[in-house]
Amino acid sequence: MASRLLCEIDLEAPGKRTGFLRLPHSTHESAYGWIPIPIAVIANGRGPTILLSAGNHGDEYEGQIALGRLIREVEPGQVQGRIIALPALNFRAAQAGRRTSPVDGGNLNRSFPGVADGTPTQQIAYHMDSVILPLCDAVVDLHSGGSSLMYTPSALARRGDAAVFERQLGMLRAFGAPHSYIVQPGGLWGGTLSDACALRGIPQLGTELGGGGHATPATVGVAERGIAGVLRHLGIADLDWDGRVARPTRLLQVGGSDYFVHAPDPGVFEPLAEPGEEVKAGQPAGRLHQTEVPWREPIAVHFARDGVVLVKRWPGMTARGDCLFHLGTDLGG
């Protein structure tokens, strides 16, 4: 079944063009309206095609900001190949500053490979998977911790086909985030853009640049330098956004459930470790305060293994089952 999204701009011709992917959405308020997903292409000469995406989750801002700058500043003459930029991918979520779409509740990064005639979020996944990905030689999908998590600035890739993984390691090093980590294919989540790329054998890199629904110049800078590094590494563009100097990255991996700390009871979360910190098995990780009956003892939680804190939960108010931390350990370590 063909994707229902219509692209206003020509993705094939050389030059720079901006416009919208039109996602038809027939509502009480607008019977023949469409959801306008911004898209840009900057193409010139021969070379690979890279997809740069952000706003897959709408409350993760570094990539949205960095890709906006790229669209405004980079000219075709600087490019060998093609950059396709989609900085507000799940548009209604990005418009609302929410992880998920207020239109259908959809989490785009759990919706791949999508459904041609499904909900708007599913239709976006389907269009990306069936129309955009087949054009691409590499993909960088820019995430951050969003409203509920705060990461130490990181990039990540998943294991899989050895040749693809090798190319992803090269992209990770070129991106040069302070931390980089490797995740296992599969796991409990599925339906990610990363899964869709793996099925097509396209090297893909993700990021977790900060979080809390907030962006800082520092984390936007990691995104900008990282994009410049990857574009240079792939021979697509030689921007000066990173001083043309590669930054070192510490390579980690994330393993099974002992890398994670979840809340065993509800409460107000007080974290006792910070992203980027080294921790030991048995070390106190946080407390869940019983603010409805404050004379009751808070619940203490501990780390189950040694590692580097990659992420902590951000909101104080916490439910049983919420993820409080996850760790990484040095690759090969």
Scan residues 88-127 and list those touching a second copy (CB under 8 A): 88, 91, 94-100, 104-105, 107, 110, 117
Q: Is 221 in the site for a second copy (CB under 8 A)?
A: no
Site for a second copy in 144-183 (CB under 8 A): 145-150
Q: Is 252 in the site for a second copy (CB under 8 A)?
A: no
Long-range contacts, 123-127 (Cβ 8 Å, 24+): 123/3, 123/4, 123/5, 123/23, 124/5, 124/23, 124/37, 124/89, 124/90, 124/91, 125/191, 125/196, 126/3, 127/3, 127/4, 127/5, 127/21, 127/23
Q: Residue 89 and residue 21: Cα distance in Å, rounded? A: 10
Determine which residue in the list 13, 217, 240, 245 makes contact with a second copy, applying CB under 8 A: 217
Q: Is 52 in the site for a second copy (CB under 8 A)?
A: no
Nearest distance in Å: CB 171, a second copy? 23
Strands (E), the chain: 6-7, 15-24, 34-44, 49-54, 81-86, 138-142, 149-151, 154-158, 179-183, 204-208, 250-253, 260-262, 267-271, 278-279, 284-289, 299-302, 307-313, 317-318, 323-330
Q: Tell me the CA end-to-end span of the chain in Å, nearest whole number.
A: 47
- Indicate the residue among 208 and 242 with the shorter CB distance to a second copy: 208
Q: Residue 178 and residue 277: Cα distance in Å, rounded? A: 13
Residue 201, sorted as left (phi over 0), alpha (psi -120 to 50) or beta, turns out to be: left
Site stretch for a second copy (CB under 8 A), options 124-132, 228-236, 247-255, 289-297: 289-297
Q: Is 130 in the site for a second copy (CB under 8 A)?
A: no
Nearest distance in Å: CB 214, a second copy? 5
Token match 């548009």: residue? Answer: 91
Q: Residue 150 and residue 317: Cα distance in Å, rounded? A: 15
Q: Is 200 in the site for a second copy (CB under 8 A)?
A: no
Q: Is 289 in the site for a second copy (CB under 8 A)?
A: yes
Q: Is 206 in the site for a second copy (CB under 8 A)?
A: no
Radius of gyration, CA atoms only, the chain: 20
Q: Is 268 in the site for a second copy (CB under 8 A)?
A: yes
Q: Is 256 in the site for a second copy (CB under 8 A)?
A: no
Q: Is 316 in the site for a second copy (CB under 8 A)?
A: yes
Determine which residue in the list 15, 30, 199, 331 makes contact with a second copy, applying CB under 8 A: 30
Helix axes 162-175, 217-233, angle to 10 degrees: 130
The answer to whether residues 326 and 310 touch, using CB atoms and an 8 Å cutoff, is yes
Nearest distance in Å: CB 328, a second copy? 14
Site stretch for a second copy (CB under 8 A), options 44-52, 68-76, 129-137, 175-183: 68-76
Q: Is 198 in the site for a second copy (CB under 8 A)?
A: no
Nearest distance in Å: CB 27, a second copy? 7
Determine which residue in the list 41, 51, 53, 87 makes contact with a second copy, applying CB under 8 A: 87
Q: How many CB atoms lie under 10 A from the CB of residue 232?
A: 17
Nearest distance in Å: CB 13, a second copy? 18
Q: Is 15 in the site for a second copy (CB under 8 A)?
A: no
The answer to whether residues 234 and 48 touch, using CB atoms and an 8 Å cutoff, is yes
- Indicate the residue among 203 and 307 with the shorter CB distance to a second copy: 307
Determine which residue in the list 115, 135, 281, 317 makes contact with a second copy, applying CB under 8 A: 317
- Indicate the residue among 89 and 230 with the shorter CB distance to a second copy: 89
Count of residues interacting with a second copy (CB under 8 A):
89
